[in-house]
Amino acid sequence: MSKLLVKPSDPTSTGRVIEVTPESAGWTYVGFNVHKLAKDQTVSEKTGDREVCLVFVSGKGHVKVDDQDFGLLGERMSPFEGKPWSVYIPSGSIWSVEAETDVELAICSAPGAETGEAKLEARVIGPDQAGKETRGEGTNVRHVANILPETEPAHSLLVVEVITPGGHWSSYPPHKHDRDALPDESLLEETYYHRLNPSQGFAFQRVYTDDKSLDETIAVEDGNVVLVPEGYHPCGAPHGYDLYYLNVMAGPKRIWKFHNDPAHEWMLK
């Protein structure tokens, strides 16, 4: 199995089925976990020196951060139904989620405030705040919800979710962001959390560099994570199966500047 592919495991006592740490991924910034909670089940964690964005992939739950009670959040019962509810949580916090229904909770993390830097406040990011846009044309159309873009406050995290209709391509034409070379390109590690509708489907993601020292094409199934440490990373959804993915990005500078593969950039002209 590819080292870039992370498959779900049996749930832990707190419902965790996916765990990606900087150490397990072999990189520096991005962490990503998924917990599947049954009704009335609770998960609680400390953020430590990292900031966190909780994303309700599906389901509803009561959220508390330190002494703040954010109440019942969540709305959709499937990631293919509408936009998400999310919560930004700064470093040095304790948070908990108690499931009102079955909940699929994504925990996106990256380095928080540096020494001497003022921490941000915890806040709810509602569906109306997750700016929605449609990108591409023809079979390159996909639908994007910007949960935590660079225009909204955070120290490291960038979080976005995308729905790619069956038969379409996404993160396409292929682009990369693996060089700290602003203003032309930023260095960002990235995870892709894939869901499929219907769930028995599959999709493909290729991760490759210009010199092809890294060149893998990965068959992804429902609930898989693909790690993108470097290189171009397009996705394809077969006919009949819509593809959802949740992206987490972070790097030395919180800006998304990408470089298109010159061989395929002609499509944009």
Q: What is the pLDDT of residues 115-129, one digit of tens each?
A: 778 889 999 999 999
Q: What is the pLDDT of residues 150-196, one digit of tens each?
A: 999 999 999 999 999 999 999 999 999 999 999 999 999 999 999 99
Q: What is the pLDDT of residues 226-243, one digit of tens each?
A: 999 999 999 999 999 999
Give the per-residue pLDDT at 83: 87
Whose tokens are 């470089």? That residue is 259
29: amino acid identity, one letter: Y
C-alpha 116/C-alpha 183 separation (Å) is 27
Specify whether the CB–CB gap between 21 and 65 falls below 8 A: no
Q: What is the pLDDT of residues 35-62, one digit of tens each?
A: 999 999 999 999 999 999 999 999 999 9
Reading the block at residue 96, the tokens are 């908990």
C-alpha 217/C-alpha 233 separation (Å) is 9
Sign of torsion, CA 67 71 73 77? positive
Give the per-residue pLDDT at 101: 98
Give the per-residue pLDDT at 163: 97
Angle of CA points 81, 88, 73, to nearest 5°: 45
With a threshold of 0.85, does the pTM exceed it? yes
